[in-house]
Amino acid sequence: MRPAVVFGGYGAFGSHVARELARMGHVVTIAGRDHRRAQAAAAALGPPHRAVAADASDRESCRAALAGQAVAASCAGPFASLGEALLQECVAARCHYADIADDRAHAARVRSWGDRFGAAGLTAAYGCSSLPGLSGALALLARQGADAPPERARVTLFIGNDNPKGPAAIRSAVSVLGRPIRAPQGAVRGFADREVVALPPPFGLRAVYNFDGPEYDLFPELLGVSTVAVKVGFESRLATRVFAGLGRLSSRYGNGTARILSGLGRLTGRTGHEGGAVLVELSWSDGTARRASLVGDQRMASLPCALAAGALASGDCARPGAATAYELLGHRELLQAMAACGYPVTRG
């Protein structure tokens, strides 16, 4: 098996990606700014895996970490401020790329690099996580067999309470509070427009609010829909109310608010469920509605990146340019792989 480097491979999601790649038989390099943590993560994987100090936002640092690698898995956020250093150096090093980002701007950035990756015979796989990797695969499954395109797609990301939230994830959520979100049907406001969705067990009926995601850009072409809603909710009802209340009050929040909310999360953590759910609902003008969902732990959200990176490292798939996980692997194949790992799809 060929080697793979995981940037942020000691983080909450990156550690899952690193373990999955090692389980597949790839030689993994854990890369991160904290060399001590990278070494500890590599030691936990055992020989021949190793560690390197690297900053995914620094070109020289990326260049050193990519030497001899077949694929780079980017799990080091926050992606909104990561820049293009790793993308630039992947092309220069003739190294495939995959990430776990659900950040809409970062997804657009990777797509803008599609021609450069394609010209080099490389793949840049983006959004290989719950959004839009799993949501896109679920949407294509739900649309399957329909004679006409649906009118509306609603995607819900539901986050379990016993789910470690890193600083980057908290800052990403705070960045949406009260701010306008571009949607095909017109602008919506972050953490506004409360809706109640019927989530699969064990969650049930829950209130969810507007969130930002690549689906606003991808789903109109993918599904033919004219209206897209991306929603988020938390198992902690207190957290959901706090975020919704902050969204009503202002749109001027920053790192200070993120630190306060991180503290709140630590106080309410370790109860409830790890991971959460991804639910996609499609509706047609004649009243037809279809649903598809996945429920699982934190590993579930990391698997699309590991599967994409593993396939690229092995040379098992060829799709030069920028691609989502469901485009690279095929939506049926991705969902079948998820089921084989213990995460079957629920439909209807």
Which residues, at least 6 apart from 309, have a Cβ–Cβ distance to it below 8 Å? 4, 6, 17, 21, 71, 73, 96, 98, 125, 128
pTM: 0.92
Query: For residues 19-52, b (16+ Cβ closer than 10 Å) or e, as one string?
Result: bbbbebebbbbbbbbeeebbbebbeebeeebbbb
Regarding whether 339 and 197 lie in a shared domain, the answer is no
In a shared domain, residues 209 and 341: no
Helix 135-143 × helix 215-223 angle, to 10°: 20
Higher pLDDT, 176 or 102: 102
Please state the rounded mean pLDDT for residues 123-129: 98
Beta bridge partners of 28: 4
Least confident of 68-77, 130-139, 251-260: 251-260
Alpha-carbon distance of 223 to 206, in angstroms, equals 26
Query: Are residues 17 and 149 located together in one domain of the fold?
Result: no
Reported as a single tens digit per residue, the pLDDT across 267-326 is 555 566 777 999 999 999 999 999 999 999 999 999 999 999 999 999 988 899 999 999
Asked if the model's pLDDT at residue 259 lies above 70, the reply is no
pLDDT of residue 265: 53
Q: Which residues of 153-185 are buried (b: 16+ CB within 10 A; e: fewer)?
A: bbbbbbbbbbbebbebbbbbbbbbbbbebebee
- In tens, the pLDDT along 46-100 reads 999 999 999 999 999 999 999 999 999 999 988 988 899 999 999 999 999 999 9
Q: Give yes or no for residue 43 having a pLDDT over 90.
A: yes
Residue 258 has pLDDT above 50, yes or no: no
Residue 167: give the domain boundaries.
131-298
**Whole-angstrom Cα distance, residue 232 to residue 209?**
5
As a whole number, mean pLDDT of residues 203-228 equals: 97
CATH number, domain of 58, equals: 3.40.50.720
Residues 57 and 10 placed together within one structural domain of the fold: yes
- Assess contact for 193 and 178: CB atoms under 8 A: no
Residues 92 and 10 in one domain: yes
Contacting residues for 282 by C-beta, under 8 A, at least 6 apart = 139, 142, 143, 150, 152, 153, 223, 225, 289, 290, 291
- Which tokens is 123 given? 């793949």
Give the C-alpha distances (Å, rounded to integers) separating 217 from 49, 111, 181, 229.
Answer: 38, 11, 11, 11
CA distance 146 to 290: 10
pLDDT for 262 beyond 60: no
Residue 260: pLDDT band by 50, 70, 90 thresholds?
very low
pLDDT of res. 264: 52
Given 263, 283, 298, the domain boundary residue is: 298
Q: Are residues 114 and 163 in the same domain?
A: no
pLDDT of residue 221: 97
Q: Is the dihedral of CA 157, 161, 163, 164 positive or negative?
A: positive
Say if residue 141 is in the same domain as residue 270. yes
Are residues 71 and 150 located together in one domain of the fold?
Answer: no
pLDDT of residue 242: 79
**In Å, how far are 65, 227, 348 from 106, measured between CA atoms?**
21, 22, 32
Asked if 77 and 146 sit in the same domain, the reply is no
User: What are 152-210's pLDDT values in tens digits?
Assistant: 999 999 998 776 555 666 666 777 778 899 999 999 999 999 999 999 999 999 999 99
What's the total number of domains in the chain? 2
Find the CATH number of the domain harbouring 172: 3.30.360.10
Q: What is the pLDDT of residue 176?
A: 78
Look at residue 213 and tell me whether its pLDDT is greater than 50.
Answer: yes
Residues 142, 92 within the same domain: no
Q: CA distances (Å), 251 to each of 156, 183, 247, 272, 308, in order?
A: 22, 18, 7, 29, 36
Check whether residue 20 and residue 123 sit in a common domain. yes
CA separation for the pair 14, 10 (Å, rounded): 6
Residues 201 and 334 both lie in one domain: no
User: Mean pLDDT, the chain, as a whole number?
Assistant: 91
